[in-house]
């Protein structure tokens, strides 16, 4: 397939990861992207397919629009929130001084390329050198910031919208603003809203793109070459000149059926007599020189058959003890019959109107857990209109068997799929012999006298009943997010905390204080966690987690961490002053220590 696909990249994976996944979806190797986005960045990622990859240089020249959060008072080696902190400073600037410093960067300037970037020096990427601790010589680049808008200031955070030229590093802009203010700064968040004229309004999340493939609507997401290049004048060849043009020869006015007086240096679209796009040619004097040839590859990619698999379908929210009985049977069958294990997980459509329901697991959490549980593949399918209206038979034959290679299905007794939930266990049993697949039905799991379900677990968590929720999940409920930067309220009262935000779409327990475990790559640490909006500190704080590790003060900034919530201690409340808050937190720390002492005895 040829054209441009506008991807709405989400947090948690690299631009390279997105391209790799799209190669699997489209079944073709010739795919590239315009403008790298880091794993924690999100937004517009234009992806070029097939012949469109030859337009990379042309399409990458446009401006970019970013929305970013600048955090003042800290500096890292990567100039963003993921790096190692090497300096903390007190922010003493006024809002007026911050505004003046920000706006001084509008217009043309020179910017030093950051070490953590994909640019190359002597054939090696700077980021690879930086990870080896090597500081390379690098020059400054000319950049242009056309628009610089301050959306909000809530110190130490400043939210900006930036329209800039190709090659501008927003993280370096944040770093430079911080340096100018004398307190340091870093890029805490980044969303690319526009890239070379492509906007978020026309972008598709990867899950939706995969859903469109499954339902046969993939081509609808791709902008064809003719649409992308429609602003260039069209020149149709005479039949006698077609071979010469395809061979990359220079052309003249006499070779066109619709010759015109094109300006010198201008680009024109050149098509065969039948309308097939051959390429872009540039007018040079009386001739047209080939600038970008858009001929197809001689050998199309081979379509690979799906590997034989054992499948289960559902939402799998929480991947609780009931789900794990299904997974265990899938793995038993996979080992016995040499099958792949595939989970087909329905999810809310991110492109539909309204707020999606908060879930026990975010998409990145679900992917990690599926991998940890030994599943070979997790296909998340947004509940689009095409999926919703697909008949149960089409879903079974075209998707489960045709695209997932299903040879066996393991299901719960309430399994359903297809239009108006018409597909169920009875239908699967009726079709099994005819379509050549095996059906295994796993009974529901009972815990604490009731059937385990995602709905029941969500209700338990909404009430703060974390122990019973853990019994049903098979693990403590957790919130996974990168440890970021707060307002140093805990440090000011002698109780430092690690700060995290509740990810979008994650079910948040009641605001309050919890006994917790903070898990990083270095292990688990006993802690207490406050979830809420910091009412004692004043208005305007976003919802987040503040976790105090009970023993020691480990360096945690920038790390990805899971905060496991073990036991609810008390609701969040506003105290009269910081001294009263500190006294209460110290009582909570004592309660948490007692909890862990008792836990060790069991």
Assigned token pair, 108: 């043309």
Half-sphere exposure of 546 (CA within 13 A, CB side): 22
The CATH number corresponding to 64-195 among 3.30.2350.10, 3.40.50.10300, 3.50.50.60, 3.30.420.40 equals: 3.30.2350.10
pLDDT at position 303 is 67
* Domain 476-601: homologous superfamily in CATH: Riboflavin kinase-like (2.40.30.30)
Pairing mode, if any, of strands 340-347 and 416-417?
unpaired
Angle of the 15-26 helix axis to the 206-214 helix axis, nearest 10 = 0
Residue span(s) of the chain under CATH 3.40.50.620 come to 309-447
Assigned token pair, 155: 């110190």
Assigned token pair, 259: 């010759």
Task: Say how many residues make up the chain.
Answer: 602
pLDDT at position 397 is 95
Which residue from 12, 19, 417, 47 is spatially nearest to 214, judged by alpha carbons?
417
* Domain 309-447: homologous superfamily in CATH: HUPs (3.40.50.620)
Question: How many CB atoms are located within 10 Å of the residue 333 CB?
Answer: 20
pLDDT at position 416 is 93
DSSP for 76-123?
ETTSBTTS-EEEE------HHHHHHHHHTT-EEEEEEPPSSSS-EETT
Backbone CA torsion sign across 323, 324, 326, 331: positive
Residue span(s) of the chain under CATH 2.40.30.30 come to 476-601
- Among all residues, which ones are annotated catalytic? 38
In whole angstroms, give the CA distance from residue 215 to residue 387. Answer: 7
pLDDT along the chain (602 residues), means of 10: 94 91 91 90 95 92 94 94 88 95 96 87 83 85 96 94 95 97 95 94 92 92 93 94 95 90 93 95 95 84 83 96 97 96 87 75 94 94 90 95 95 93 94 96 93 95 96 97 83 87 93 96 94 77 89 86 96 89 93 91 71
Looking at residue 204, the DSSP 8-state letter turns out to be B
Write the secondary structure of 488-549 as one string of H (helix), E (strand) and C (coil). Answer: CHHHHCCCCCEEEECCCCECCCCCEEEEEEEEECCEEEEEEEEEECCHHHCCCCCCEEEEEE
Provide the CA 337 distance to its chain's centre, in angstroms: 35
Residue span(s) of the chain under CATH 3.30.2350.10 come to 3-61+199-226, 64-195
Q: 386 pairs with which residues across the strands?
A: none
pLDDT at position 349 is 67
Residue 239 contacts residue 206 (beta carbons within 8 Å): no
Q: Edge-to-edge, what's the strand order for the sheet holding 512-520? A: 477-482, 560-571, 512-520, 523-532, 544-549, 498-501
Burial class (CB in 10 A: 0-12, 13-18, 19+), 441: middle
Burial class (CB in 10 A: 0-12, 13-18, 19+), 164: buried
Backbone CA torsion sign across 390, 396, 400, 401: negative
Question: How many CB atoms are located within 10 Å of the residue 223 CB?
Answer: 16
pLDDT at position 354 is 62
Residue 339 contacts residue 408 (beta carbons within 8 Å): yes
The CATH code belonging to domain 3-61+199-226 is 3.30.2350.10
DSSP for 224-285?
PHHHHTTTSPEEEBPGGGHHHHHTT--EEGGGBTT---PPTT-EEEEE-TT--EEEEEEEET
The CATH code belonging to domain 230-293 is 2.30.130.10
Angle of the 170-181 helix axis to the 95-103 helix axis, nearest 10 = 130
In whole angstroms, give the CA distance from residue 408 to residue 394. Answer: 17
Assigned token pair, 445: 């799991």
Residue span(s) of the chain under CATH 2.30.130.10 come to 230-293
Q: Is 559 helix (H, G, I), strand (E, B) or coil?
A: coil
pLDDT at position 46 is 96
């Amino acid at each position: 397939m040829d054209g441009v696909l506008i991807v709405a990249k989400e947090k948690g994976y690299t631009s390279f990861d997105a391209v790799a996944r799209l190669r699997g979806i489209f079944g073709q190797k010739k795919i590239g992207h315009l403008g790298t986005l880091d794993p924690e960045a999100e937004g517009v990622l234009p992806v070029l397919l097939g012949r469109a990859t030859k337009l990379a240089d042309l399409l990458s020249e446009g401006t970019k629009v970013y929305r970013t959060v600048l955090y003042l008072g800290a500096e890292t080696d990567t100039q963003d929130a993921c790096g190692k902190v090497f300096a903390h400073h007190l922010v003493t600037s006024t809002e007026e001084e911050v505004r003046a410093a920000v706006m001084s960067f509008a217009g043309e300037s020179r910017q030093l390329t950051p070490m953590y970037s994909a640019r190359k020096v002597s054939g090696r990427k700077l980021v690879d050198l930086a990870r080896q601790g090597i500081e390379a010589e690098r020059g400054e680049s000319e950049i242009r910031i056309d628009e610089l808008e301050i959306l909000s200031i809530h110190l130490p955070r400043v939210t900006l919208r930036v329209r800039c030229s190709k090659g501008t590093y927003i993280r370096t802009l944040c770093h430079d603003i911080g340096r100018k203010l004398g307190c340091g700064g870093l890029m805490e968040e980044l969303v690319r809203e526009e890239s070379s004229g492509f906007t978020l309004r026309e972008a598709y999340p990867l899950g939706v793109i995969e859903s469109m493939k499954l339902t046969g609507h993939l081509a609808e997401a791709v902008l064809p070459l003719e649409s992308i290049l429609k602003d260039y004048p069209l020149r149709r060849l005479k039949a006698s000149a077609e071979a010469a043009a395809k061979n990359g020869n220079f052309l003249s006015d006499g070779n066109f059926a619709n010759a015109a007086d094109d300006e010198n240096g201008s680009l024109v679209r050149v098509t065969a007599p039948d309308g097939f796009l051959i390429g872009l040619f540039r007018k040079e004097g009386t001739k047209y020189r080939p600038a970008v040839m858009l001929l197809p590859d001689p050998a199309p990619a081979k379509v690979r058959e799906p590997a034989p698999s054992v499948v289960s379908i559902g939402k799998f929210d929480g991947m609780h003890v009931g789900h794990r009985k299904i997974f265990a049977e899938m793995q038993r069958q996979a080992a016995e019959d040499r099958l792949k294990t595939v989970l087909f997980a329905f999810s809310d459509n991110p492109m539909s109107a309204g707020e999606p329901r908060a879930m026990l697991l975010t998409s990145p959490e679900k992917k990690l857990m599926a991998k940890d549980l030994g599943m070979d593949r997790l296909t998340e399918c947004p509940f689009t209109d095409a999926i919703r209206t697909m008949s149960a038979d089409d879903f079974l034959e075209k998707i489960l068997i045709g695209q997932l290679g299903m040879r066996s299905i393991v299901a719960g007794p309430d399994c359903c799929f297809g239009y108006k939930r018409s597909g169920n266990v009875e239908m699967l049993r009726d079709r099994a012999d005819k379509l050549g697949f095996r059906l295994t039905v796993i009974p529901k799991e009972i815990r604490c006298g009731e059937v385990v379900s995602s709905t029941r677990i969500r209700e338990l968590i909404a009430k703060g009943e974390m122990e019973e929720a853990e019994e049903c999940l098979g693990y403590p409920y957790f919130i996974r997010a990168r440890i970021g930067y707060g307002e140093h309220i805990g440090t000011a009262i002698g109780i430092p905390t690690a700060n995290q935000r509740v990810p979008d779409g994650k079910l948040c327990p009641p605001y309050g204080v919890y006994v917790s475990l903070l898990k990083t790559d270095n292990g688990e640490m006993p802690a207490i966690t406050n979830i809420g909006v910091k009412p004692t500190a004043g208005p305007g704080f976003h919802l987040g987690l503040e976790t105090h590790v009970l023993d020691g003060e480990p360096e945690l900034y920038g790390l990805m961490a899971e905060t496991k919530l073990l036991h609810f201690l008390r609701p969040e409340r506003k105290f009269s002053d910081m001294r009263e808050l500190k006294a209460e937190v110290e009582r909570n720390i004592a309660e948490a220590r007692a909890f862990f002492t008792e836990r060790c005895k069991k």
